[in-house]
Structure 1
Amino acid sequence: MFFWKNRNKKHLTAILPEESRKECTNPGRGWYHIYTFTLDKRDVEGLLYLPFWDEETLALVRLDIGAFRCKILSKEALEYAEEILKCFHDRGKDIILRVLYDTQGKGMEREPALFSMVLTHMKQLGTVVRAYESDIFITQGLFVGNWGEMHGSKFLDREYIRELYAVWREALGTDIKIALRKPSFCRMAVVKENEKTVPGVFDDAIFGSENHMGTFGQKKKKESTWTDDWCMADELLYMQENCGMIPFGGEVLSGQMAGAKETLCTLQDFRVSYLNSIYEDQVLEQWKQTAYGEWGSLYQYIGEHLGYRFVAKNAEFYSDRIEIMIENTGFSNICDKAELMLVKENADGTEETYTADYDIRMLAGGKTAKMTVPFSGVPDENERFYLKLVRCRGKAVIRFANEGAKERLYLR
């Protein structure tokens, strides 16, 4: 609704609908399913019958290259990898990509004996993956270890990790995000302690134990070396300062079952953007059985607040600008660049677009910010305005979570 706040100063305020309690599907956040493909067993027809979940915008795609541990990837394998990525592109999915040698917890047996072969595979696949840059949400791991999770491998000391990361980064280019299994691996991966282009972290043991099954250490940073595993509090601070533009997520385990309040605090502290939708079932079922007010269940609330969730609170029209208050009720900031636009619909059917001078990636979960759009004049009764938020990568539209909002959130 609109009302005049101060007629003399031509100051108009738009109060917007409250946050919806319904599903608000948006790119680059939420639940995901896992899809595993073995690159030496090409099955193009099988790609036509993959099950997809419309409410999920993410998919974890695992490319198993264990059959090539002693040789370069074949032309057919690379073509199959391209066909797989194209399949998910055609379905509009953001891809969490994990290339691995092992899917049985036998990393030492399945990965190459020669370190140089891993580097060769990275260079080969980098060309394929880079062609789908706009579809890649994040890549996980550096090919090695049990399930590609960087444990149970002979290539995990600092020099190996540094070279693996450097080669994979060069193969992918500068824009595709990379996540490693532990914060200490991130520090090993870069040359300088103050390096700005550090990778992020994925955690497949959230709630698994006090230290997330070895994701974190016990000692404080001041008692440790730079590449040691630090205690959770110090690692959280490190990730906040260095990995804030890389989404954090993974899987939950049932080692430490927590109440609703503690669970939500942990998800907020870690800026969790994405979670496996079927694992671990014991935790997910507990969330589904836990009532949570108007949201129905804790599971529903968590699912709707993974990553970012933008709610426009109000818009104030002045003679030279429009100020828009936006709250992020999600657990995390959005990690992709996005443009917030105010669009004016004129009486003659034309539109005028005004872009906010604000980097919405800076709006952390649980915070509110005022965004200013340069604008001249006060709207008359024949003009309509709406907000539109578009992710720069892939030009995907981001919906506001206000009641009744669709791809456009009308202010009038």
Structure 2
Amino acid sequence: MEQQNTTLWAAVALACAALAGCGGSAENDGVTISFSGPGAPPAVAEVPKAAMSKAALPKTLLQLNTSPLVQVSLSPSDADFPNPERGFYRFAIDPSKITATSLDYVVADGQRLVYTPGDLSAYRTKDLPSSYLTKLNTGFANLRKQGLKAVVRFAYNYPETEADYLNAQDATLSRVKRHIAQLQPVLQANADVIAVVQGGFIGAWGEWHTSSNKLTTPANKAAVRDALLAAVPASRQLQVRYPGDLAAWYPTPPTLAQLLAASPTAAARIGQHNDCFLASQDDVGTYWADTPAQSAALRTYAQQSSAVMSAGGETCAPPEVTQARMTCEDILREGAAYHMTYLNRDYYEGFFAQWQAGGCMAELSRKLGYRLQLQSVAHSAIAAPGGTLAWQVALSNQGWARPMNARNLALYLVSATNEATVLPLAGTDLRQASPGEPLQWSGEVTLPATLSPGSYRVHIGAPDAAAALAATPAYAVRFANADSAVTGVQWQAGTGRLALGSTVQVQ
């Protein structure tokens, strides 16, 4: 065993010397290598110069990183701060009417999400004109300028009052399918600033009830669903109004593995939006069924489905105030049970008045969606250009829901001139972060062969998955961690990264 260890360390030292990663002294015909580390001998015998050629070394040894890990412990923060694709949303306007500054108030109020109702009432019997599609693209571009993302829904009517909905008009199935096909290029081109797409199109407010064209039959609902699944970018989820539809289509809720699959099934692409959350015993028809047992079964299904898929919505005016569940205890219990990612901050004010009076608004704001808290981060102390850097990350999700859309962690090596080398951490899709559960990852990442030697500060971040937004701080996830003047841990608002107060020596 001793001979085997000596051979191993000799090989390690040989690789390290070839990469200028260890100390050594040149002699006449060889190099004497010294190596320090756990389990390493104090010195390794002379290695012939003939063996020092990199070409003679196995690739795995050339990339081997045996340096100790720098351990960084992080403290939690209770601060409330905005994060993309979660939280309270603000009710905006048709996306075709969004200007470069029309939603500045949303950012100023600390939100990062808006609801954009596409109004197709003028096109119930005709194609969407190219001018409208062009304006949609412009509106999404303006959304991008303001650092926001959208919950998108298209509908053929927006009744002024809840009594007007009975006379609301929608379009024929053929017209709906044609419009969805026309919208497909717009949705695909602007997927980066779309958080989720709600079903829409059918019935009053696009809520999949009271259709004037019989679109609420099971066959027609399925046809609209399929058209939307074809049009909505594969990287984004669709949401439908009623859990009863989901349960009929997919009796078994999807699993996390199905969600994370390279090609997710239809069941793993559809979540739900509840537009009368907490407002009555069945949430104003959301969980309506023939019997109380069937209604309870729908609630169970919704809770199981939303544990994997996205869920959000809004409250509404309660038909009977005595049936509404308006206390802080109600929202904190059911928000967690149904894994709510977002809620409409502009409706219904009666609920917000109760939550403010009960003192839970700050907690509610923190809990909606994900809240990712780092426990520790570790990385190699020394690395070489073209070699590997080992890393470990431990975190937990203190929010009610997992992130809706794919997003990975990254380490950043920041030079003395503040240039950052981005090192994406494979396998760290943050959708794996289940509420309340700890999560640990570890691995190795290869440094660019052209990376200059020197001391690099280490940051960690969770940038947007879209290349167009990856460097925009407003679209980066902020971790729920406190700054520390002692350790140097500090959130970098200008870059959307967390400085760890640690360094790695590239040599």
2:119 & 2:279 partners in 1: Cα distance? 26
Contact 1:161/1:189 (8 A) holds in 2: no
SS at match of 1:77: helix
1:91 aligns to 2:146 (yes or no): yes
2:273 & 2:461 partners in 1: Cα distance? 31
Can you list the C-alpha shifts for 1:60-91, whole angstroms capped at 9, x where unaligned? 11111112222222333333333333332332
The structure-2 alpha-carbon separation of the partners of 1:328 and 1:315, relative to structure 1 and needing over 3 Å to count, comes to same
1:117 aligns to 2:175 (yes or no): yes
SS at match of 1:89: helix
Q: 2:442 pairs with 367, 372, 375, which one?
A: 372
Q: 2:304 pairs with 213, 237, 249, which one?
A: 237
2:101 & 2:422 partners in 1: Cα distance? 40
Task: Look up the match of 2:315.
Answer: 252
Q: Residues 94-105 of structure 1: matches in 2 within 5 Å?
A: 94-104=149-159
Task: Look up the match of 1:341.
Answer: 410
Contact 2:94/2:118 (8 A) holds in 1: yes
1:76 & 1:347 partners in 2: Cα distance? 49
2:209 & 2:72 partners in 1: Cα distance? 54
Q: 1:176 pairs with 221, 236, 241, which one?
A: 236
Task: Look up the match of 2:124.
Answer: 69
Contact 1:31/1:277 (8 A) holds in 2: yes
Contact 1:95/1:136 (8 A) holds in 2: yes
Task: Look up the match of 1:3.
Answer: none
1:382 & 1:93 partners in 2: Cα distance? 36
SS at match of 1:17: coil
Q: Residues 9-408 of structure 1: matches in 2 within 5 Å?
A: 10=68, 12-19=70-77, 21-37=78-94, 49=102, 52-54=105-107, 55-104=110-159, 106=164, 109-112=167-170, 114-153=172-211, 154-188=214-248, 196-198=265-267, 199-217=270-288, 230-240=297-307, 244=308, 246-253=309-316, 255-291=323-359, 298-317=360-379, 321-345=390-414, 353-356=422-425, 357-374=427-444, 383-393=456-466, 394-395=469-470, 396-404=475-483, 405-406=491-492, 407-408=496-497
Give me the TM-score of the superposition, normalised by structure 2: 0.67
1:143 Cα deviation from its structure 2 partner = 0.6
Structure 1 letter corresponding to 2:311: F
1:220 Cα deviation from its structure 2 partner = 8.7
RMSD: 3.4
Which 10-residue stretch deviates more, 170-179 or 333-342?
A: 170-179
The structure-2 alpha-carbon separation of the partners of 1:27 and 1:229, relative to structure 1 and needing over 3 Å to count, comes to same
Contact 2:407/2:462 (8 A) holds in 1: yes
SS at match of 1:206: coil
SS at match of 1:201: strand
SS at match of 1:14: strand
Contact 2:232/2:238 (8 A) holds in 1: no
1:24 & 1:166 partners in 2: Cα distance? 37
| Rg larger in structure | 2
1:204 Cα deviation from its structure 2 partner = 0.9
Task: Look up the match of 1:411.
Answer: 500
1:350 Cα deviation from its structure 2 partner = 6.2
Give me the TM-score of the superposition, normalised by structure 1: 0.81
SS at match of 2:134: helix
Contact 1:217/1:232 (8 A) holds in 2: no
Structure 1 letter corresponding to 2:298: C
SS at match of 1:326: strand
The structure-2 alpha-carbon separation of the partners of 1:109 and 1:73, relative to structure 1 and needing over 3 Å to count, comes to farther
Contact 1:182/1:216 (8 A) holds in 2: yes
SS at match of 1:411: strand
2:404 & 2:101 partners in 1: Cα distance? 31
Can you list the C-alpha shifts for 1:283-303, whole angstroms capped at 9, x where unaligned? 112212223xxxxxx111111
Which 10-residue stretch deviates more, 112-121 or 262-271?
A: 112-121
Identity across the alignment (%): 19
1:101 & 1:375 partners in 2: Cα distance? 50
2:175 & 2:296 partners in 1: Cα distance? 28
The structure-2 alpha-carbon separation of the partners of 1:281 and 1:342, relative to structure 1 and needing over 3 Å to count, comes to same
Which 10-residue stretch deviates more, 180-189 or 136-145?
A: 180-189
